[in-house]
Structure 1
Amino acid sequence: MSDFEKKAISVSREVDASPSDVWAVLSDGWLYPCWVVGAARMRDVDPRWPERGSLLHHSVGNWPFLIDDKSEVLDMVPERSLRLRAHGWPAGAAEVLIEIEEQGDGCLLTIREDAVEGPATLVPRPARQGTIAPRNREALRRLGFLAEGRRR
């Protein structure tokens, strides 16, 4: 386990969907705002998504107060994990690791996240955890619903 993975704020959820069902949702960059809390719209998806180095161009916030930003794939293993650098200025950037672990007929989804750049890194970890953990619990709930719906 990397230093990031040890320090990152982690939440998990069991879903009634296969790793391939979950990966199908993660692989469709246009679905990003459907499951990522705070993402308001997609502007563009790199045709290579989710290959390493590919980008999603999204906006965060609520209209009319939207900020255009991006997320970049740092690493991925199909149907197992997706590591992103999510930019969210003016707060900075976060590293996000989504892990998919097969469990019987379903799987366990885990998101690990922490600020890695910008003013958010100055916020004490317990305070960051107070905002990151609830947001990622909801993101996993949404991701799970999309994957389970795809399975049906």
Structure 2
Amino acid sequence: MSTVSRLFNTPADDIWKVIADGWLYSGWVVGASRIRAVDAHRSLELVARGWPLGEAKVVITLEDMGTQCRVSIAEDAIRGPGKLVPKVLRDPLIDVRNRETLSRLELMAAGGAGS
């Protein structure tokens, strides 16, 4: 899986508030144009569907460091044409998108979204 991490200057609780509100995903997840459903009991392991590339497994983890938090996103194609793209070409593209996703998540968490 392609994994990117970023150290946020925001407490983990503030980040969890944004992540826990599934309706906010389109505001910070690059490429998410709409949310089809929100499950109050979901975990942070997701299946992302992206036409025409197929599906990807996404795992988001938070490491609480007091006033800071390290957030990581691991992702890889699991179904569809995207899985046929060689990993050496696929990973850099995933990394670019997920770095921007982490930037947006940090801004939303620092700004009090999800409160």
- TM-score computed with the length of structure 2 as normaliser: 0.90
What is the rounded CA distance, in whole Å, between the counterparts of 2:37 and 2:85 in structure 1?
A: 31
Deviations 1:97-124 (A, max 9, x none): 0000011311000000000011111100
1:116 equivalenced with 2:78 (yes/no): yes
Paired amino acid for 1:86: A
What is the rounded CA distance, in whole Å, between the counterparts of 1:30 and 1:15 in structure 2?
A: 22
Structure whose residues are more often helix by fraction: 2
1:45 equivalenced with 2:37 (yes/no): yes
Partner-residue secondary structure (3-state), 1:39? coil
- Matching of residues 28-107 of structure 1 within 5 Å: 28-42=21-35, 44-46=36-38, 48-49=39-40, 51-52=41-42, 76=43, 82-107=44-69
What is the rounded CA distance, in whole Å, between the counterparts of 2:90 and 2:68 in structure 1?
A: 30
Structure with the greater alpha carbon radius of gyration: 1
Higher relative contact order (CA 8 A, sep 6+): 2
Deviations 1:63-90 (A, max 9, x none): xxxxxxxxxxxxx2xxxxx110111122
Q: Identity rate of aligned residues, in percent?
A: 45
- TM-score computed with the length of structure 1 as normaliser: 0.70
Q: What displacement does 1:40 show? A: 2.1
4+ residue stretches of structure 1 with deviation over 6 A?
Answer: none
Structure whose residues are more often strand by fraction: 1
RMSD (CA atoms) = 1.5
Aligned length: 113
5+ residue gaps, structure 1, are 1-7, 53-75, 77-81
